[in-house]
Amino acid sequence: MQDRPHAAELAQAVREFIETEVLPGIDDPRLRFRTLVAANGLGILEREIALGAPLVRREAGSLARLLGHADPLPDDLDELRRLASDLNRELALRIRADDTPEGTLAHLLATVADKLRVASPRYLERYR
Amino acid sequence: MSVAGSARAAPTVELELRERLIPLFGADIAIERLALLAGGASKEAWALDLRTPQGKRELLVRRAGGGVIHKETLSLEDEHRLLEVAFAAGVRVPKPFGYLGEIAGRPAFVSERVSGETIGRRIVQRPDLADARAVLPTQMAEELAKIHAIPAERVPFLGGSGARDVLGRLTEEVDRLGDAHPAIELGLSWATRQAPENSETVVLHGDLRVGNLAVNATGLGHVLDWEFGHRGDPAEDVAWPLVRAWRFGVDELHLGGIGEVEPYLERYNVLTGRHITLASLGYWEIVGNLKWAIGALTQSRRHLSGQQRSVELAVLGRLAAEMEFELLHLLERAG
């Protein structure tokens, strides 16, 4: 077991350093933009550490129901990720073969909203 | 790239550049300033102040970067040729002065350096650009009308054609990503079923939107960034600035965060005699979201593969979800 700070706390510390100590000293607009992007990348990482596991479980469960798979979901997170990736491939192939399962649009709206909870929560809140 | 270090030109660049500028501006010239404005793996932009017998000229040199050029973009020589043809057709573009061949091993061309705001987020927000925003929609329609009237035989190097060609190319790009994207598949499947048949094919700018225009207090100054020029359905170009990502946060203004679609479309149709419908724009807006979702994922692969390491490109891979979300909502509405 690693000592604190935990991964999310460490990412947060680096992001706060960039935002409060690095950014104010940057005048070059392009470097400033890339620095903001870097801080945003760390924010994504913080949220993924906090929310990633339950969201990938929800996605895999929804995909399994949509595609009619009855097997129980694995507990191990890496296995769960592999399963979600395989099921996404299966769904993509069915859509391309013009055999889109009933309920695909609703599944994708919920799943992509979950991706945005990690990648871009403000976009999701603002979306109308 | 160190900012301080990159601002000055390497001596060979300056020497070779001066040599290539002589046939264009005469032998009695001096480079007063040459500074790198933006450097990427794919393309550089240099600000060049040149003293000539006729006075000082403010120029821009576009030069290839060290990395791999995007498969879908024009070579610098073709981009310069397209600029020349567009300039001759009366399109507001920075005046092209000449293709320079290779400067220190990389192709380059020189054009007029124009002023004006080019950052999308500032164009939609700056209070002092309110008057410009009021006239930009019809001005964009006017530039598109001129571009779409360029005779295709003057730019024979432009590839592309209709919707099916666009979708075929997008499908190939998706297949190169290496993982599955069902939201994008759903969009491609819809767009294939709804693809217009036998549409007209014209010369397109390919990336005309807020963010690729130089805007001043009175409105549209110049149309920039011609590297995505191709041939295709005129509605593809007309719909592109409607895509939500190009509204820069002012989402309620459907046209680029600056205006409504109807007056823009009406102006375009009056000028061209075409009858592009809102429904057709709706189709191409969906394709536009597909294009940019796939584009963002592809950009992140440039980082992941080591072709161009960049935090900006890396994060784009995660932001593709924004375009997927918009795409799904547009599909829901389209039925």
Closest approach of B312 to chain A, Cα-based (Å): 6
State how far the Cα of B16 lies from the Cα of A42, in Å rounded to an integer: 43
Q: Within chain A, what is the greatest distance between any pair of CA atoms?
A: 57
Output the pLDDT for position B4.
37
* Tokens representing residue B66 in the block: 């060290």
| Choice among A68-72, A101-105, B36-40, B163-167 with the minimum mean pLDDT | B36-40
Output the pLDDT for position B197.
85
* Tokens representing residue B226 in the block: 């011609």
Its pTM stands at: 0.94
State how far the Cα of B182 lies from the Cα of B324, in Å rounded to an integer: 10
Planar angle of CA B157, B161, B166, nearest 5 degrees: 115
- Give pLDDT tens digits for B91-110: 999 999 999 999 999 999 99
Interchain contact B179–A (C-beta under 8 A): yes
State how far the Cα of B222 lies from the Cα of B118, in Å rounded to an integer: 10
Closest approach of A68 to chain B, Cα-based (Å): 16
Reduced to 3 states (helix: H, G, I; strand: E, B; else coil), residue B98 is strand
Output the pLDDT for position B68.
58
Cβ distance B321 to A116 less than 8 Å, yes or no, reads yes
Cβ distance B189 to A127 less than 8 Å, yes or no, reads no
Interchain contact B189–A (C-beta under 8 A): yes
Output the pLDDT for position B3.
37
User: Which residues in chain A have Cβ-Cβ distances shorter than 8 Å to B332?
Assistant: 105, 109
User: Which residues in chain A have Cβ-Cβ distances shorter than 8 Å to B319?
Assistant: 119-120
Interchain contact B89–A (C-beta under 8 A): no
Closest approach of A38 to chain B, Cα-based (Å): 6
Residue of B nearest to A115 (CA): B321
User: Which residues in chain B have Cβ-Cβ distances shorter than 8 Å to A25?
Assistant: none
Reduced to 3 states (helix: H, G, I; strand: E, B; else coil), residue B1 is coil
- Interface mutation target, options B44, B297, B322, chain A, most CBs of A under 10 Å: B322
DSSP A128: -
Interchain contact A118–B (C-beta under 8 A): yes
How do the pLDDT tens digits run along chain B, 335 residues long?
A: 333 334 456 788 999 999 999 999 999 999 999 998 876 667 889 999 999 998 999 999 999 986 655 667 899 999 999 999 999 999 999 999 999 999 999 999 999 999 999 999 999 999 999 999 999 999 999 999 999 999 999 999 998 888 999 999 999 999 999 999 999 999 999 999 999 987 899 999 999 999 999 999 999 999 999 999 999 999 999 999 999 999 999 999 999 999 999 999 999 999 999 999 999 999 999 999 999 999 999 999 999 999 888 999 999 999 999 999 999 999 999 98
B120-334: CATH, from 3.90.1200.10, 3.40.640.10, 2.30.30.140, 1.20.1370.10 = 3.90.1200.10
* Tokens representing residue B201 in the block: 């094919």
**CB-CB: which of A85, A88, A109 is closest to B328?**
A109
Quick one: what percent of chain B has pLDDT higher than 90?
86
- Give pLDDT tens digits for A14-50: 999 999 999 999 998 888 989 999 999 999 999 999 9
* Tokens representing residue B289 in the block: 């979201």
Cβ distance B322 to A104 less than 8 Å, yes or no, reads no
The stretch A95-120 carries a mean pLDDT of: 98
User: Bridge-partner residues for B194, per DSSP?
Assistant: none
State how far the Cα of B148 lies from the Cα of B167, in Å rounded to an integer: 21
Reduced to 3 states (helix: H, G, I; strand: E, B; else coil), residue B31 is strand
DSSP A30: H
Domain ranges of chain B: 3-112, 120-334
Interchain contact B38–A (C-beta under 8 A): yes
| Choice among A53-57, A122-126, B156-160, B197-201 with the minimum mean pLDDT | B197-201
Output the pLDDT for position B5.
38
Reduced to 3 states (helix: H, G, I; strand: E, B; else coil), residue A106 is helix
Reduced to 3 states (helix: H, G, I; strand: E, B; else coil), residue B244 is helix
Output the pLDDT for position B12.
87
Domain ranges of chain A: 7-126
State how far the Cα of A72 lies from the Cα of A106, in Å rounded to an integer: 22
Planar angle of CA B64, B69, B72, nearest 5 degrees: 130
- Interface mutation target, options B43, B310, B312, chain A, most CBs of A under 10 Å: B312
The stretch A96-112 carries a mean pLDDT of: 98
Q: Which CATH architecture has domain B3-112?
A: 2-Layer Sandwich (3.30)
Residue type, B227: E
Interchain contact B3–A (C-beta under 8 A): yes
Query: Do B184 and B290 meet the contact criterion of CB atoms below 8 Å apart?
Result: yes
User: Which residues in chain B have Cβ-Cβ distances shorter than 8 Å to A112?
Assistant: 183, 321, 324-325, 328
State how far the Cα of A44 lies from the Cα of B320, in Å rounded to an integer: 13
Burial of B283 (0-12, 13-18, 19+ CB in 10 A): buried
State how far the Cα of B103 lies from the Cα of B21, in Å rounded to an integer: 11
Cβ distance B318 to A118 less than 8 Å, yes or no, reads yes
Phi, psi (degrees; rounded to nearest 5) at A94: -65, -40
- Can you say whether the dihedral through the CA atoms of B212, B216, B218, B223 is positive or negative? negative
Interchain contact A82–B (C-beta under 8 A): no
